[in-house]
């Protein structure tokens, strides 16, 4: 059986429903594309550079049996699409939650962020020889610090969205790391991580996903708030 389209199929299945639902009258996320897409392009570029460097270093790699063979430098085209499809699905979910579900604002996200900063920074410093662990944890910690000290703050409902997205995350990432398949689509060199697996998924992947989603969602919220502020100032000037 030809399995070369497996990774591509996972990407497409992850984005299919959110993309189609984006045009529904109750959740017209397509109207938000002008805020979301520029951010996703920048975030995707950042992760592709990081991805390419770690692939060159042998920290992770890709099983040729499950990819089409089309590559951008050393990255399969499916890996490029991963940074487009997964964040889109998650940001759409965040949009639906913030639009249709009223979540009482509490100080809990602040405490969660502070605890994460402390734990992640400590783990990063204790594992400087494990590059996947240290780089991922440190970058996420720095992003949380920047958001906490900025006016933007942690996007409302982010942690709720993240917790909900863990379910499809374990399914899709489980497939990528070898669950229900003869071999993993994406393999990891455990010399560069903690060696802790959640099923077949490296422990660090959950924080890598959090970093990717938080960059996309916080950037989307920031750009949207800037655009809305600009429009408000225009209206006041016109008056």
Q: At what angle do helices 131-149 and 108-126 cross, to 10 degrees?
A: 150
The β-bridge partners of 198 are 201
Going by pLDDT thresholds of 50, 70 and 90, the confidence category of residue 102 is low
Give the pLDDT of residue 235: 64
What average pLDDT score do residues 179-183 get?
90
The answer to whether 103 touches 43, Cβ cutoff 8 Å, is no
Give the pLDDT of residue 227: 84
For residue range 137-169, list pLDDT tens digits in order: 999 999 999 999 987 788 878 998 899 888 889
For residue range 17-33, list pLDDT tens digits in order: 999 999 999 999 999 99
Q: Mean pLDDT lowest for which of 83-97, 122-136, 155-169?
A: 155-169
For residue range 111-127, list pLDDT tens digits in order: 899 999 999 999 999 99
- Stated pTM of the model: 0.92
Q: Mean pLDDT lowest for which of 17-31, 40-54, 61-75, 89-103?
A: 89-103
Is pLDDT above 90 for 110? no
Determine the Cα–Cα distance for residues 186 and 105; give it in Å rounded to an integer: 38
The overall average pLDDT reported for the chain is 92
Give the pLDDT of residue 25: 93
Give the pLDDT of residue 237: 67
Count CB-CB contacts under 10 A for residue 222. 17
Determine the Cα–Cα distance for residues 176 and 113; give it in Å rounded to an integer: 28
Give the pLDDT of residue 1: 55
* Residue 88: exposure state from Cβ atoms within 10 A (0-12, 13-18, ≥19): buried
């Amino acid at each position: 059986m030809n399995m070369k389209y497996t990774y591509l199929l996972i990407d497409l299945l992850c984005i299919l429903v959110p993309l189609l639902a984006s045009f529904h009258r109750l959740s017209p996320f397509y109207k938000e594309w002008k805020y979301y897409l520029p951010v996703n392009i920048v975030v995707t570029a950042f992760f592709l550079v990081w991805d390419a460097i770690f692939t060159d270093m042998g920290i992770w790699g890709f099983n040729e049996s499950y990819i089409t063979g089309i590559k951008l430098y050393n990255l399969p085209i499916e890996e490029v699409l991963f940074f487009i499809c997964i964040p889109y699905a998650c940001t759409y979910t965040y949009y639906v939650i913030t639009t249709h579900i009223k979540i009482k604002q509490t100080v809990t996200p602040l405490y969660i962020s502070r605890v994460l900063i402390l734990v992640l920074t400590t783990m990063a410093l204790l594992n400087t020889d494990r590059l996947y662990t240290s780089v991922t944890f440190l970058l996420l910690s720095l992003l949380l610090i920047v958001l906490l000290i900025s006016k933007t703050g942690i996007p409302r409902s982010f942690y709720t969205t993240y917790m909900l997205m863990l379910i499809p995350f374990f399914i899709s990432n489980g497939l990528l790391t070898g669950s229900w398949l003869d071999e993993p689509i994406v393999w990891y060199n455990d010399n560069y991580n903690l060696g802790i697996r959640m099923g077949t998924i490296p422990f660090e992947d959950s924080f890598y996903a959090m970093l990717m989603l938080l960059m996309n969602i916080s950037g989307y919220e920031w750009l949207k708030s800037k655009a809305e502020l600009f429009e408000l100032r225009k209206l006041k000037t016109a008056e």
